[in-house]
Each structure stands twice: as C-alpha cells, then as structure tokens.
Amino acid sequence: MSITLNRIAEQGTNGVAMMPIIQGVARAAATISALLRSAVFKDVLGEAGAENVQGEQQQKLDVLTDEIFFQEMRATGFVCAVGSEEQEQLQVVEEYAHADWLVLVDPLDGSSNLDIDGPVGTIFSIVKRTSPNLQRPQEMDCLQPGKQIVAAGYVLYGPATMLVCSVGNGVEGYSINPGTSRFELSHPDIRIPAQGGYYSVNEAYSSSWLGGMGSRLGRMKRETGLGMRYVGSMVADMHRTLLKGGIFLYPADENKPNGKLRLLYEAIPMGFLMEQAGGQAMSADGRVLEVMPQGLHQRIPVFLGATAAVSSLLA
C-alpha cells in the first residue's frame, strides 16, 4: 500500500497545519512537471523579454511557473501572501489576506538548464506571519531568520519528479508515480551520509573567490578525498549532496561579494533541509538559519553538507 502526502499531517507539531499548503505545492509541481515535459513542443522555451528584480533575463517558463505556483497557493485558502524570486514585491492573496501563512518560492531554479533538457527545480519555505491577522501581510512578515520557518522543501524535475520536504521532523521524499499520478513516499527519513559523496561548486570562479576559499577547498579535498560533481542547478546539486553526502557550496567572489544564491528563496530552505537531514548549513559568519534577513532578494554565500566536510572547509 503506497503512502501519500497525507502522512505529513502525522508529523511533528506542524504537520497538520502544513499539509494543505504542501499539497498545494504538490499540485503546482505536477502542473509544472507536465509543462516542462511538453515545453519543447510549445512556444514556452527561451527568454520572456524582461528582466527580473535581480537584473537577470527571465525565461518564459520562469514567468509561467511563478503564476502556476501563486494560483495553487491561493487555492489552498491558508496562504496570505507569496514572496517569489521572480517578483520584486510580496504578492498578497487578496481573498485570504488574513490567513496565517506566507510562502517563499523560487518557482524554477536552475532555469539556465532548460535549453539542454537538464534538471531544474522549485524551492519553497513556509513561515507564520508576525503582523496581526487583521492587517494586510507585509514584507516584514517574510524577513524572519531561517530558524523560525515552519516547513521547507524542493521539487526536483529530473527523470522522476520528486518532492523533498520537512515540517521540522526530519526529511522525506515523495515521487510522482506515473501509474497513479500521485506523489508517493519513495525516500523515508533522508539522512545525509557522514562520509563520502562529492564536493559541488563552480570551480571556474576559484581565482576570484574571497576569504581564502581556494586554499580552504584544497585542504578539504586533501582531508576528505571527495570527488567532484556540479550540475549548476541547486536543486539537483543539493539532492545529490543529501543522498550521497559531501558538500555543496557557492562562495563569495570578487564579482559577487555576497555570493549568488538568495537567502530567502534558496539558502534558508535548503539550509533547513540540510540541518533536518543531520548536516550543517553555514554562511561566512555562522549558521545560515541564524542570519536575520534584511530584504526579500538578499544574497548570501552558502556551505551546505555533511558535518565533516563543512568543518574541514571552514576550519
């Protein structure tokens, strides 16, 4: 008998509250997965002709997936606003502006992989609003340190479509079963292996890394003997790191003094999952989950992985 997402309701103190929102994420994921499979036959690949708030070219699929995700969050009835990497400002769900929960999302991470049929993903986290429910939700409601988020996860659109999530009670993975079209539990209790695995970083930037990262990485490679893998799609690189062990990092460099990855949309949700899976999630000055966000689109260097690898790198 297969186990469905309903199992989330039985987990920890937040499972019941989180389940309808994570089911909304799953509906969005199923729609996005189908859209990606048929994208090459429709006019939805390539650039949308606009830049996002980060000054990056938006792909048509960035725009479409952002809209799909927002509509599914609205449909849950439990989400008062969505903060998205693709939107400069918080998007309020007008009908449910008094609801308790905000969702932060990178609807299509790694979208530079789309042209080569490479893996991409959706990353999300869920926080409880801090403003009174009678008010409209505001940006401030999103600016909470990662240790206060209640749930996070990602969807990997690879050979299988997989939802990996945590409600603060460990990490589980559910895969779409093409026979039933439902997400079914495929990876219970994901724990990062303490030893082995790979290091994963864009080493092309090593000559301009800051903070002595080049020599730190050299030392870590000697101490751990890890091999190297890098997809350039954070969800795929994190997924491998969680399942196989090792470390994923995106350090600061001369051209990107705060790194590339976004605190709210990428670092916090992935850091939450990494800690829930028994690993470490660090930035330049300490735990990712302790960093107080200053803005919706803030960037931060990240070092996520097994304790031995992270300690060896940052010692």
**What is the binding site for Mg ion (CB under 5 A)?**
106, 109
User: Cβ of residue 8: shortest distance to ligand AHM, in angstroms?
Assistant: 25
Q: How far is the CB of 98 from Mg ion (least distance, A)?
A: 30
Q: Least separation, in Å, of the C-beta of 177 and Mg ion?
A: 27
Mark residues 146-185: x for contact with ligand AHM by CB under 6 A, - for none.
----------------------------------------
Other C-beta atoms closer than 10 Å to the C-beta of 207 total 9
Among residues 14 and 59, whose Cβ is nearest to Mg ion?
Answer: 59
Query: How far apart (Å, rounded) are the C-alpha atoms in residues 279 and 263?
Result: 18
Q: Determine the 3-state secondary structure of 274 from DSSP.
A: helix
Q: Select the residue interacting with ligand AHM from 66, 72, 109, 172 (CB under 6 A).
A: 109
Sites for ligand AHM among residues 184-223 (CB under 6 A) = 202
Per-residue buried b or exposed e for 142-177, using 16+ beta carbons within 10 Å of the residue's own CB: bbbbbeebbbbbbbbbbeebbbbbbbbeebbbbbbe
280 binds, among Mg ion, ligand AHM, none (CB under 5 to 8 A by kind): none
Q: What residue 232 binds from ligand AHM, Mg ion, none (CB within 5 to 8 A, per partner kind)? A: ligand AHM
Least distance from C-beta 184 to ligand AHM, angstroms? 26
Q: Which two tokens stand for residue 124?
A: 């999300």
Are 314 and 283 in contact, with CB atoms under 8 Å apart? Answer: no
Nearer to ligand AHM, 96 or 157 (CB): 157
CB 238, min distance to ligand AHM, A:
8
Compare residues 5 and 242 and give the one whose CB is closer to ligand AHM.
242
Beta-bridged to residue 123, according to DSSP, are: 106, 154
d(CA 214, CA 187): 35
Q: How far apart are CA 243 and CA 141, in angstroms?
A: 33
**Which residue stretch of 14-22, 91-99, 147-155, 231-239 sits at the interface with ligand AHM (rule: CB under 6 A)?**
231-239
CB of 46 to ligand AHM, least distance (A): 15
Q: How far is CA 305 from the centre of its chain?
A: 14
- Residue from 24, 110, 146, 251 binding ligand AHM (CB under 6 A): 110
Please name the amino acid found at residue 298. Answer: Q
Number of residues that bind ligand AHM (CB under 6 A): 12
Residue 48 CB neighbour total at 10 angstroms: 16
**Given candidates 51, 56, 95, 117, which one binds ligand AHM under the rule CB under 6 A?**
56
Q: Which two tokens stand for residue 282?
A: 């660090």
For residue 36, give Cα distances in angstroms to 12, 31, 43, 107, 161.
34, 9, 12, 12, 11
Contact positions vs ligand AHM (CB under 6 A): 56, 106, 109-111, 202, 232-234, 237, 250, 260
